[in-house]
């Protein structure tokens, strides 16, 4: 068996519907912060869309 330098991992993601206007054929979005995806770091506004937690004071 040959070993490949390009090993592909498997991630489980949650998807939601919704088109992307400038990408033909793309009809889904990945839900950030659920299952194997991480939220966006240092996100202050629009946190629920990006899976960011409430910043600590």
Is 18 within a domain? yes
Domain membership flag for residue 3: no
Any idea which of 4-8, 21-25, 37-41, 53-57 has the lowest mean pLDDT? 4-8
- Number of folded domains that form the chain: 1
pLDDT at residue 17 in the model: 92
Is 49 domain-assigned? no
Q: Is residue 19 part of a domain?
A: yes
In a domain, 6, yes or no: no
Domain that holds residue 19: 12-38
Model confidence, pTM: 0.55
In a domain, 25, yes or no: yes
48 part of a folded domain: no
In a domain, 30, yes or no: yes
Give, in order, the Cα–Cα distances in Å from 34 to each of 3, 7, 17, 50, 57: 32, 23, 15, 10, 24
């Amino acid at each position: 068996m040959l070993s490949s330098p390009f090993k592909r991992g498997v991630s489980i993601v949650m998807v939601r519907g919704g088109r992307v206007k400038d990408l033909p054929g793309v009809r889904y979005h990945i839900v950030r912060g659920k299952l194997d995806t991480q939220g966006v770091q240092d996100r202050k506004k629009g946190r629920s869309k990006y899976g960011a937690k409430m910043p600590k004071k």
